[in-house]
Structure formats: structure tokens, C-alpha cells
């Protein structure tokens, strides 16, 4: 039986939305007001964006790893005509976390609205629209051998395993963040419960520099955690004690969904960001012996017993 959108987000059959759902908001970097809809799409269509402010057939951008055009401050995808849409990672994470395989996102500007800086508003929209199964088998990318990019300072890797599991480690000099690690298995509504509300974050001196460069114009304490020295400036503080690493997990889930299908295996990131996540997908797909496309089976939905000495020691 395929669970509904409020239960397990994984199933063996492709899913899309029951109906289109709409929202408006502000772009994090542009500061511009933008309207967006998340609409149903046919089986095997995948996730794509359509710029409704532009005319012609070149306004559609597939949400795929080989369409990533920029990763400096967010994940930006572009089509071969140069039309782009940015800050897609939180929405992509919500679609992945809610088990949506096929959707068309229509947007009247170049940037997905930041909302409250997390994926939670998008999860709410997807739940409000509802989901339907589409009668075709769900496909996934199975990791067949370890793939790694980067080094001990900043890197990421994929390793074979059952289920869909993610771990991450961060280290910052600020005592407000310090060292944090986290782990999540995408099953049984875990994305909504454990990650969706985790907000993007930045440091006050970086925000001021970005604004001098004409960026982060839409950023505020209403849509990001801002750290000054060793203090969190947001009234009410954090939503989770380890909200910073939870958001890095969220970003990674969104970035890796640009593979075009769920990935069966384990992802681990270490001080990584959007650029490293995309490099990892390039490395995976460059090695034809490292992956295969498969139809999901019941055994694939259950994570294997997972251990990591570093994280187990931290949790003890």
C-alpha cells in the first residue's frame, strides 16, 4: 500500500500533485516579489521550472544536475538558452521529502521565493495540494561503489546501501554554531518532522558584504538565522538546538534531487555546500560503473543498520 502524503514519503509508484497550489514571496538575493505555482506533471516528466515572465518555448528549465549554472550563494539552474532560476534547493528538498516525482513549477521571476528560509512552507503547500499516484513504477539511482569529491577540509561522498540516508558535519569558529553533526533516513515522514523547519543561516559580517555587492536584498531575520559573533540575533532563537546542521542536510537533499530520481545509498557531507554537492553528482554520473537506474523494490525503502564512529561517539 502506498502511504499518503502525511505518512511515509517513499513508495513504489510515481506521484504528482492532485492540483496546482500557489504562493507569493520575496527572492532572497534579488529582493523582488515573485509569484509561483507548483502544478501536477505527467508520469516520467520529472521536476521542471517554467519562467512565466518570458515568452516562447525556451522558458522551461529541467531540474537536473547537468543544468546547474551557479552554486556560489545558492543552486541556480539554466537551460541551454541561458534562462535561469535560482535558490531552488529548499523547494527541491520539499518535493523530495514529500515523495513528489513529477511537477511543473511556474514562476514569474528568476528566483524561488525564500519564504521563511526553510522548506516548511513548501511542505505545507504540497500537503495542501495533496498527492496522487500515477500507475508507473518509481525509479531510483542505485549507488554501486563509493564516490567522493573534495578533501578532509571540505568534501562529500556517496556509498552503497539500502534506503535513502544522509549525514553531515559542520564546523564554525562561532560558538553559536561550533561543531555539529546530523543524520536522517528519508522514510516515514522524517523529512517533515526532522528537517523541514530548519532555516538557512548566515553571519552578520557576510550579510553586510553581500548587500554592498547588491546581493541578499531580500534577506532578513524573518527568513534566515543571522549570527553575530557568538550570538544568534533572531528573536526566539533556534527552532532546533542543531538547526544549522539540519539545514545543511536539507540543502543536500535538495541538491541531490537534481540527480533526476531518488538516490539509493548513503550521502555524507563535510563542511560542503552547493558546489561540492553538484561536483559529487558530476563524479557519480561520470563513472558508469558507479550507478545504475532501477525500479524501486520494497527492500530499497528500508535503510540498512547504519553506523558512523564519529557520529555515534557524538551522540553517546
| pLDDT, position 53 | 94
Phi and psi at 270, nearest 5°, equal -130, 105
Torsion of CA 77, 80, 83, 88, to 10 degrees: -10
| pLDDT, position 216 | 66
Name the band, by pLDDT with cuts 50, 70 and 90, for residue 213.
Answer: low
Residue 76 belongs to a domain: yes
Same domain, 160 and 60: no
| pLDDT, position 71 | 96
Same domain, 104 and 203: no
Same domain, 175 and 53: no
Percentage with pLDDT > 70 across the chain = 91
* Nearest one of 306, 248, 237 to 273, comparing CA atoms: 248
Write out the H or E segment, with its range, that includes residue 285: helix 274-286
* Nearest one of 168, 176, 181, 164 to 201, comparing CA atoms: 176
In this structure, what CATH number is given to the domain that contains residue 22? 3.30.230.20
In this structure, what CATH number is given to the domain that contains residue 194? 3.30.1700.10
Residue-wise pLDDT for 121-180, tens only, equals 999 999 999 999 999 999 999 999 999 999 988 999 999 999 999 999 999 999 999 999
Integer Cα distance of 13 and 108 in angstroms = 31
Which of 86, 113, 136 terminates a domain? The answer is 136
Please count the CA atoms within 13 angstroms of the CA of 6 that sit on its side-chain side.
Answer: 2
Domain that holds residue 260: 139-315
Instruction: Check whether 4 has a pLDDT greater than 60.
Output: no
Same domain, 120 and 165: no
DSSP string, 170-235: EE-SSTTT-EEEEEEE--TTHIIIIITTPPPEEEHHHHHHHHHTT--TT--TTTSEEEETTEE-ST
Instruction: Check whether 219 has a pLDDT greater than 90.
Output: no
Q: How far is C-alpha 32 from the chain's CA centre?
A: 22
Q: Do residues 95 and 5 touch, judged by C-beta distance below 8 A?
A: no
Residue 26 belongs to a domain: yes
| pLDDT, position 75 | 98
Same domain, 75 and 207: no
Residue 217 belongs to a domain: yes
Residue-wise pLDDT for 278-304, tens only, equals 999 999 999 999 999 999 999 888 886
Out of 1-10, 143-152, 253-262, which region has the weakest mean confidence (pLDDT)? 1-10
Same domain, 181 and 118: no
Same domain, 166 and 299: yes
| pLDDT, position 212 | 72
Rounded to two decimals, the pTM is: 0.92
Residue 7 belongs to a domain: no
Same domain, 167 and 77: no
Report the domain count for the chain: 2
Q: How far is C-alpha 36 from the chain's CA centre?
A: 18
Residue 292 belongs to a domain: yes
Any idea which residues carry the catalytic annotation? Answer: 274
Same domain, 94 and 201: no
**What's the rounded mean pLDDT across residues 229-249?**
96
> Residue 271 corresponds to which cell in the numbers above?
563542511
Helix, strand, coil content of the chain in percent (nearest 5): 25, 30, 40
- Residue 200 vs residue 316, higher pLDDT: 200
Amino acid at each position: 500500500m502506498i502511504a499518503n502524503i502525511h505518512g511515509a514519503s517513499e513508495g513504489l509508484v510515481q506521484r504528482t500533485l492532485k492540483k496546482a497550489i500557489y504562493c507569493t514571496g520575496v527572492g532572497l538575493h534579488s529582493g523582488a516579489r515573485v509569484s509561483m505555482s507548483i502544478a501536477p506533471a505527467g508520469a516520467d516528466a520529472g521536476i521542471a521550472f517554467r519562467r512565466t515572465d518570458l515568452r516562447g518555448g525556451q522558458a522551461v528549465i529541467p531540474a537536473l544536475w547537468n543544468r546547474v549554472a551557479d552554486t556560489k550563494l545558492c543552486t541556480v539552474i539554466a537551460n541551454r538558452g541561458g534562462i535561469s532560476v535560482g535558490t531552488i534547493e529548499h523547494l527541491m528538498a520539499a518535493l523530495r521529502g514529500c515523495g513528489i516525482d513529477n511537477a511543473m513549477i511556474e514562476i514569474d521571476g528568476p528566483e524561488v521565493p525564500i519564504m521563511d528560509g526553510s522548506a516548511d512552507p513548501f511542505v505545507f503547500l504540497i500537503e495542501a495540494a495533496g498527492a496522487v499516484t500515477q500507475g508507473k513504477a518509481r525509479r531510483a539511482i542505485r549507488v554501486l561503489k563509493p564516490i567522493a569529491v573534495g578533501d578532509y577540509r571540505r568534501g562529500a561522498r556517496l556509498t552503497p546501501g539500502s534506503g535513502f540516508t544522509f549525514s553531515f558535519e559542520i564546523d564554525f569558529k562561532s560558538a553559536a554554531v561550533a561543531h555539529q553533526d546530523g543524520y536522517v533516513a528519508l522514510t516515514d515522514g522524517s523529512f517533515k518532522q526532522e528537517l523541514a523547519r530548519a532555516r538557512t543561516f548566515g553571519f552578520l559580517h557576510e550579510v553586510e558584504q553581500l548587500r554592498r555587492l547588491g546581493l541578499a536584498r531580500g534577506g532578513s531575520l524573518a527568513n534566515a538565522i543571522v549570527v553575530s559573533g557568538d550570538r544568534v540575533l533572531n528573536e526566539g532563537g533556534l527552532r532546533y538546538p542543531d538547526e544549522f546542521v539540519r539545514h545543511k542536510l536539507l540543502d543536500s537533499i535538495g541538491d541531490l534531487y537534481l540527480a533526476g530520481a531518488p538516490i539509493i545509498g548513503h550521502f555524507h557531507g563535510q563542511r560542503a555546500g552547493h558546489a561540492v554537492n553538484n561536483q559529487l553528482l558530476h563524479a557519480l554520473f561520470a563513472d558508469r560503473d558507479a550507478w545504475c537506474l532501477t525500479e524501486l523494490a520494497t527492500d530499497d525503502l528500508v535503510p540498512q543498520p547504519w553506523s558512523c564512529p564519529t557520529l555515534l561517539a557524538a551522540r553517546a
